[in-house]
Amino acid sequence: MSQLFTPITSGSLSMPNRVVIAPMCQYSAEDGRMTDWHMIHYGQLALSGAGLLTIEATAVSPEGRITHADTGLWDEATEAAMVPVMQAIRRWSDIPVAIQLAHAGRKASTGKPWLGGAQIPPGQPNGWQTVAPTALPFSAGENPPEALGKGDMERIRDAFAATARRSLRLGFDAIQIHAAHGYLLHQFLSPLSNRREDAHGGSLENRMRFPLEVFEAVKAVVPADYPVSVRVSGTDWVEGGWDIAQTIAFARELQARGCAAIHVSSGGLDPRQQIPIGPGYQVPLARAVKAAVDMPVVAVGLITDFDHAESIVATSDADMVALARGILYDPRWPWHAAAHLGAQVPAAPQYLRCQPRMHRELFRPA
């Protein structure tokens, strides 16, 4: 029996299999509001047969967006724009849906990736002043961020909590907090970007303090068994930066606070990173975290081969496997993986007739 296609439960969330669709920014919102693109994009992924669909990094405040075209959930207008997207998904699919809450920190105020992705300075169209733990820019020559004061940090913490409340109203099954890829919470964690000299900088305990405060604030506004997970970068891939030992310490602190799962990615904090790109290059990071905690661990990163994904779960390197660019390329990846592995996958009744003759037991009605 395929281990990849066995169910898994975390808190109140039950998933039919271990295939997770990772959050992927679409840079197609208008003033933080989802558009028809999101209806099309998430609609097709909701019919993929995956165990969980995660909505892209969703900014908790306007200045927390990576680009001016990022999705947000900070007011009534941005909340209302998500309603038809969620209603369409719920009408036609029973896939569990999570949302990733994020603040980009010093990596905010940039152009869309297909337009170069460079920083847009404040005062320019679609640009604004960025913020960070310390007034250090991401890249040399960029407009530096403003260092956050205590009141600013409290407002951002409260914005995460307020966005979590909106997420509950919209009917999301789970929340993921983005603490990876060089965005604000990762900026607090890494000694490369956090040079503060107060209670939120210096020691590992201090650098973890604000991300843990944000986690606690979100947990405080959701039901006790409602799953709140965290996405982390297992390493900065830069000497002297955030590393796997610190990630494990952070994971243990999150678990003690009721974290539902941890999604282990890497990098994104420093342009000097040297990443050994290859299939499953981040799996050893997930394996190390899984050996240290009891909560479910998600592996991600160039996992495209069906047997490779199966082996990650079967050998307990991770409890789930996340797909990002691979599932954009092949939105039916879970179907094809299930066929290859002799498993079953949920499919909409409108699609049942396309089941191949050689895989007569592939589909079960969704």
Active site residues: 183
Altogether, the residues listed in the chain come to a count of 366
Report the run of H or E that residue 364 belongs to, with start and end.
strand 363-365
Task: Please measure the distance between the N-terminal and C-terminal CA atoms of the chain and give it in whole angstroms.
Answer: 20
CA dist 298 and 159 (Å) reads 26
Radius of gyration of the chain (CA): 20
Residue 320 has phi, psi (to 5 degrees) of -140, 160
User: Which residues, 6 or more positions from 237, have their beta carbon under 8 angstroms from its beta carbon?
Assistant: 266, 267, 270, 273, 274, 275
CA dist 169 and 35 (Å) reads 19
Residue 14 has phi, psi (to 5 degrees) of -115, 130
CA dist 235 and 204 (Å) reads 14
User: Which residues, 6 or more positions from 280, have their beta carbon under 8 angstroms from its beta carbon?
Assistant: 299, 301, 302, 303, 308, 312
User: Which residues, 6 or more positions from 33, have their beta carbon under 8 angstroms from its beta carbon?
Assistant: 71, 72, 77, 78, 80, 81
- The one-letter code for the residue type at 29 is A
H-assigned helices in the chain: 36-46, 76-92, 150-170, 184-189, 204-219, 244-256, 283-290, 306-314, 325-329, 333-341
Pairing relationship of beta strands 13-15 and 8-10 according to DSSP bridges: antiparallel
CA dist 72 and 62 (Å) reads 7
Place of tokens 């949302």: 99
Place of tokens 């509950």: 168
State whether residue 70 is helix, strand or coil. Answer: coil
